[in-house]
Amino acid sequence: MSALCTSSVFTCYLLLLLLLRTLHCSAESTTNSTAPRRRPRQLSVDYYAKSCRQLDQLVASVTSQRFKEAPVSGPATIRLFFHDCFVEGCDGSILISSRPGSKEVAERDAQDNKDLATEAFDVVKKAKALVESKCPGVVSCADILAIAARDFVHLAGGPYYQVKKGRWDGKISMASRVYSNLPHANSTIDELLKLFSSKGLTPDDLVVLSGAHTIGFAHCKHFVSRLYDYRGTRQPDPAIDSRLLKALKMSCPSFGGNDNVVAPFDVTTPFSFDNAYYQNLESKLGLLASDQALYLDTRTKPLVQALAKDKQKFFQAFSSAMDKMGSIGVKRGPRHGERRKDCSMHMS
């Protein structure tokens, strides 16, 4: 082709034009020959606008009552939503009870879910029963859990954000899939970043969603190693405030402690959904090693500092991150999911 181009610029131009046209037609042919892409499984705020217009109000009537009667229902339900979304996606699979005699137990009976508070399951059960009485067979358990989690964020003083709906309930719930898909109290930042990335979430999402620890409590077993034998050193974690260390040791002895004893994630405002969680990390007051690590790592520290200074920034970021997390692994249609009437039992 180079020889032709040297003899005639015009001929060279025509050849290039012909080549480009051939490539374009080839690409067009390839595109047209492939099967049409499946439409993305999109959620929408008004998904139940015609089939169950009063859905949000129905769930709110339950969550507001439960928040007054059993405040632990708030952080427990938010945590339940996290655990649901990170295993199999946001599909209500965490709500399924193990079948008697089955070789494989369900997610809720996995070791990592053993201390999920029963109050959270009760909230979803009550809300589902009320919704079923008004809109039978229409609303999924997965959507009710997502709405309830949002309600409790707001009831505790956090932001109110619109929840997109349209999830179907998943048909798979296996305890064996839980451990590798959940963050742990002693997870390193590298491990957390890898896990969140596998869910389509960013390092910023990790920092922002960790802010849910602004309310709620953790059992001693999740942080006791920080107090007495951090990373096998037989010494406390140096990244913990001495006053907090002393207080936690009083509640959580190294051996023979009460398994039911808990400590607040946020030692300053444990019942308020605010940005104090991040301020605590700056003061070495993080409860879990995985919490405090967010401030110690250069990749996540800047956002921790920014959110510690600006509550509204945290609220806006948290609303967006919850929306993003709520779209993980969404099931749509009877081929991939179901709409359970009883959230603890499969339809078939």
Q: Residue 172 contacts by C-beta under 8 Å, 6 or more apart in sequence?
A: 88, 93
CB count, 10 Å around CB of 59?
27
CB count, 10 Å around CB of 88?
22
Amino acid at 251: S
Round to whole Å and give the CA distance between 60 and 57: 5
Query: Tokens 């002693």, residue?
Result: 186
- CA torsion sign for 6, 9, 10, 14 is positive
Task: Give me 135's structure tokens.
Answer: 């809109």
DSSP 11-34: HHHHHHHHHHHHHHHHHHHHHHHS
Is 219 in the active site?
A: no
Of 83, 184, 219, 222, the active-site residue reads: 83
Residue 302 counted as an annotated binding residue: no
Residue 202 counted as an annotated binding residue: no
Round to whole Å and give the CA distance between 245 and 247: 6
Residue 89 counted as an annotated binding residue: yes
Task: Give me 279's structure tokens.
Answer: 């301020």
- CA torsion sign for 237, 239, 241, 247 is negative
Provide the 8-state DSSP code for 148.
H
- DSSP-derived 3-state class of residue 153: helix
Residue 109 counted as an annotated binding residue: no
Residue 298 CA: distances (Å) to CA of 23, 40, 186: 47, 36, 18
Residue 93 counted as an annotated binding residue: yes
Residue 143 counted as an annotated binding residue: no
Dihedral (C-alpha) 320, 322, 324, 330: value to the nearest 10 degrees?
Answer: -150
Residue 266 counted as an annotated binding residue: yes
Q: Which residues are annotated as a binding site?
A: 84, 87, 89, 91, 93, 107, 183, 213-214, 266, 269, 274
Q: Which residues are annotated as a binding site for heme b?
A: 213
Q: Which residues are annotated as a binding site for substrate?
A: 183
Catalytic residues: 83
Q: Which residues are annotated as a binding site for Ca(2+)?
A: 84, 87, 89, 91, 93, 107, 214, 266, 269, 274
